[in-house]
Amino acid sequence: TEAGVTIERRSSLFETEPVGPVADQPAFLNVAVLGTCDLEPMDLLRAMQRIENELGRERLVRMGPRTIDIDLLYVNDLVLQDDAELVIPHPRLHERRFVLVPLAEIAPDYTHPVYGLTTEELLDRTEDTSVVAPFARSI
C-alpha cells in the first residue's frame, strides 16, 4: 500500500487477448480500481512505477509481455495533455475494451472530461472488438 492512496472500488478480474503488434504472447488479466489520493498526479505516477518495478516489471518490448502494467486513467476531471511523461485522461482509454469493460463495472456514469461521454457510452462506441471475459479461476 502506498501512503496517501485509498482504494474505494475494484472491478472484477478480466482476461483479455493481447492488443497491438506483439501477437504471440499470453492473455492479460485486467482490473480497474477507483480510489482517492493525497498525491499530485506525477507523484502518483512515480508511486505506480515503483510498484511495477518492485513486482519485476521490465520494459523490454513496447506492448509486449509484462509482469504488471499500471495505468493512470483519470484524476478527477483533470485534463493534462502537454506533458510528455503523463497525459490525463489516458490518451487511448476510449479505444480499449480491456480498459472500458472493467471501468464500466465500477464507474459506468463517469464522464470523460475531453469527450463528454460516460464510460458506458465510450464502451458502446468503441471500435475495439477484442475479447474481454470474466476470469474464471481464482488467484
- What are the catalytic residues? 57, 66, 69, 71
CB 41 within 8 A of CB 72: yes
The strand pairing partners of 28, in sequence order, are 16
Q: CA 101 to CA 120: how far, in whole Å?
A: 9
Alpha carbon 98 to its chain centroid, in Å, reads 8
Grid cell 478480466 is found at 14
The enclosing H or E element of 74 equals: none
The enclosing H or E element of 46 equals: helix 41-54
